Structure 1
Amino acid sequence: MTDRRLAIAAWESLFRAQHEVMAEISKDFDEDELSGAEYDVLLTVTRCEEHRARLRDVTANMLISQPSVSRLVDRMVARGLVSKCPDPQDGRGAILRATEKGASTFRRVATVHGRTIAERMSVLTDDELSQLEQLTARLRGV
């Protein structure tokens, strides 16, 4: 049986570490160029073949509600970061595609963001990073 106090202490430590790391790496996002949420959308879209993804798949990867994702995507369309068209396989769905502007902006920000993440995580060894990834995957049920 899990020690309740230890479980709570571990949770609090994980939560505080996540909060502190996120506060630091979030500084990479200049809202005028690309917000953190826009980065998340483009991360999902650019990882897909032809830089295209279903809106529902993008929404599944986000930590915000479906209506919030829809509003965010509409703003991204207006800014020229993604295009949106009907999904031929789902009459209620949509397909998103990163525009050249969106893909190039994403690449530029991702380079800086990846460097910041690597620097912040460098306090851990490669073995510790692997263990952390495995442990958090277990917590997520993956």
Structure 2
Amino acid sequence: MRMTDRRLAIDAWESLFRAQHEVFEEISGDFGDGLSQGEYDVLLTVTRGADMTARLRDVTANMLISQPSVSRLVDRMAARGLISKCPDPEDGRGALVRATEQGAAAFRKVASLHGKAIAERMSLLSDEELTQLRDLTAKLRKTASDC
């Protein structure tokens, strides 16, 4: 690993952290009208899967909360009728999570507003800058997962 200017690294980290926090604060208003951000994140993973279905372990891997917290969230969502949960026939210990029509409709409603808010906020950056940002954050995430 090459040497990095420590002060520059700290400044860049603080700027990234503050930007994420400020953008998150700004767009957090997109949630609360039927779906929490956690519920949205679950449905984001599930609706991208074939037949709007995903393995619970894949949902958990995409979340920023602990596995027990994801399990409780999924159970609450199933009780609300947003998703269904059943045993995974390919993994006796696992579960499959599937969006219901109600869950998919709620997701589409929030996703439309959320996507518009994100696009507006990110319009401060050019397409080239957005590509750089995506690639740089992916590089940081890959490095963190390699540790």
Match of 1:41 in 2: 42
The TM-score normalised by the length of structure 2 is 0.94
Q: Using the alignment, how far apart are the partners of 1:88 and 1:140 within structure 2? A: 32
Q: Deviations over 1:57-104 (max 9, x none)?
A: 100100000000000000000100000011111111110000000001
For these two proteins, the number of residue pairs brought into alignment is 141
Structure 1 residue aligned with 2:9: 7
Structure 1 distance, partners of 2:140, 2:88, is 34
Deviation string, structure 1 residues 38-59 (Cα, Å, up to 9, x no partner) = 0000000000010001101100
Give the Cα–Cα distance (whole angstroms) in 2 for the partners of residues 72 and 40 of structure 1.
11
Taking the aligned partners of 1:85 and 1:131, their CA distance within structure 2 comes to 40
Matched, 1:131 2:136: no
Q: Which runs of 5+ in 2 are unaligned?
A: none
Q: CA separation in 2, counterparts of 1:59 and 1:140?
A: 17
In the alignment, which residue of structure 2 is the partner of 1:55?
Answer: 56
Aligned to 1:23: 25
Once the two structures are aligned, what percentage of the paired residues are identical?
75
Determine helix, strand or coil for the equivalent of 2:86: strand
Q: Deviations over 1:12-63 (max 9, x none)?
A: 0000000000111111001x50000000000000000100011011001000
Q: In structure 1, list runs of 5 or more residues that go unmatched.
A: none
Distance in 2, matches of 1:2 and 1:75, equals 45
Structure-1-length-normalised TM-score = 0.97
Cα RMSD (Å): 0.9
Q: Secondary structure at the match of 1:141?
A: helix
Counterpart residue number, 1:71: 72
